[in-house]
Structure 1
Amino acid sequence: MRYHVDEHGYYGAYGGAYIPEMLYPNIAQLQADYKTILQDAEFQQEFQQLLADYVGRPTPLYFAQRLSEQYNTRIYLKREDLCHTGAHKVNNTVGQILLAKHLGKKRIIAETGAGQHGVATATVCALMGIECVVYMGAIDIERQAPNVARMKMLGATVVSATSGSKTLKDATNEAIRDWINHPEDTHYIIGSVVGPHPYPDLVARLQSVISEEIKNQLTQKEGRDYPDYVVACVGGGSNAAGAYYHYLDRPEVGIIAVEAAGKGIHSGESAATSALGTPGIIHGSKTLLMQTSDGQITEPYSISAGLDYPGVGPMHAHLFTSGRGEFISVTDDHAMTAGRNLSRLEGIIPAIETSHALAVFEQREFLPEEVVVVNLSGRGDKDLNTYIKYFNL
Structure 2
Amino acid sequence: MPDKEKSATTASVTVDEFISENGYYGDYGGSFIPEILVPAFEEIKAHFEAIRYDEDFWQQYRALLTNYSGRPTPLTYADRLTEHYGRAHIYIKREDLNHTGAHKLNNALGQAMLAKKMGKTRIIAETGAGQHGVATATAAAKLGLSATIYMGREDMERQYANVFWMKRLGAEVIAVDYGSQTLKDAINETLRDWVSSFETTHYVLGTASGAHPFPAMVAFFQSVIGIEAKDQILRAAGRLPSHVYACVGGGSNALGIFQAFYPHDDVKLIGVEAGGKGKESGQHAARIAYGEGTLGVAQGYKTLFLQNKDGQMNDTYSLAAGLDYVGVSPILADLSKRGRVQFSAATDDEVINALQTVMQTEGLIPALESTHAFAGAFRDIVHSSKSDIFIINMSGRGDKDIFNIAEGLQDEEWKAFIHRKSNQFSRQA
Does TM-score exceed 0.5, indicating one fold?
Answer: yes
List per-residue Cα deviations over 1:146-197 (Å, max 9, x = no partner). Answer: 1000000100000001110000000000000000011211000000001101
Secondary structure of the residue aligned to 2:18 is coil
What is aligned with 1:370? Answer: 388
Deviation (angstroms), 1:282: 2.1
1:165-180 superposed matches below 5 A: 165-180=180-195
Matched, 1:192 2:207: yes
Distance 1:110 1:2, change over 3 A: closer
User: How far, CA to CA, are the matches of 2:353 and 2:331 in structure 1?
Assistant: 29
**Could you list the per-position Cα deviations for residues 51-84 of structure 1 after superposition, in whole angstroms to 9, with x for gaps in the alignment?**
0011100000000011112222111000000011
1:333 aligned onto 2:349: yes
Distance apart, 1:322 and its partner CA: 1.2
Residue of structure 1 in register with 2:323 after alignment? 307
User: Would you say the 8 A contact 1:230–1:372 is kept in 2?
Assistant: yes
> Once the two structures are superposed, what CA deviation does each residue of 1:266-312 show, in whole Å capped at 9, x if it has no partner?
31111000021011112111111100011000111001000010111
**Matching residue's letter, 1:121:** T
1:50 to 64, 89, 92: 64
SS at match of 2:353: helix
SS in structure 2 at match of 1:387: helix
2:219 to 199, 204, 213: 204
- Give the distance between the partners of 1:175 and 1:145, measured in 2 at CA: 19
Aligned length: 392
- Maintained 8 Å contact 1:3/1:319: no
Question: Match for residue 152 of structure 1?
Answer: 167
3-state DSSP class of the match of 2:195? helix
List aligned pairs for 1:193-232, cutoff 5 A: 193-224=208-239, 226-232=240-246
Does 2:377 correspond to 1:361? yes
Match of 2:6 in 1: none
Give the Cα separation in 1 of the matches to 2:53 and 2:102. 25
Matches within 5 A, 1:1-393: 4-71=18-85, 72-224=87-239, 226-274=240-288, 275-364=291-380, 365-393=383-411
Q: Distance in 2 between matches of 1:65 and 1:92?
A: 31
C-alpha distance in 2 between matches for 1:81 and 1:193? 19
In the TM superposition, what whole-angstrom CA distance separates every residue of 1:197-252 from its partner, at most 9, and x where no partner exists?
1000000010000011011111210113x211110000001000100011222211
What secondary structure, in the 3-state scheme, does the structure 2 residue paired with 1:297 have?
coil
Compute the displacement of 1:340 (Å).
1.4
Determine what percentage of the aligned residue pairs are the same residue.
49
Q: Secondary structure at the match of 2:323?
A: coil
Cα distance in 2 for partners of 1:68, 1:10 equals 40
**For 2:84 and 2:365, how far apart are their aligned partners in 1?**
17
Question: Runs of 4+ in structure 1 displaced over 3 angstroms?
Answer: none
SS in 2 for 1:260: strand
Instruction: Quote the offset at 1:33 in angstroms.
Output: 2.5
Label 1:362 to 1:308 Cα distance change in 2 as closer, same or farther (>3 A): same
The more displaced of 85-94 and 278-287 is: 278-287
Q: TM-score, normalised by structure 1?
A: 0.98
Aligned alpha-carbon RMSD (Å): 1.2
What CA distance in whole angstroms lies between the structure 1 residues aligned with 2:262 and 2:345? 21
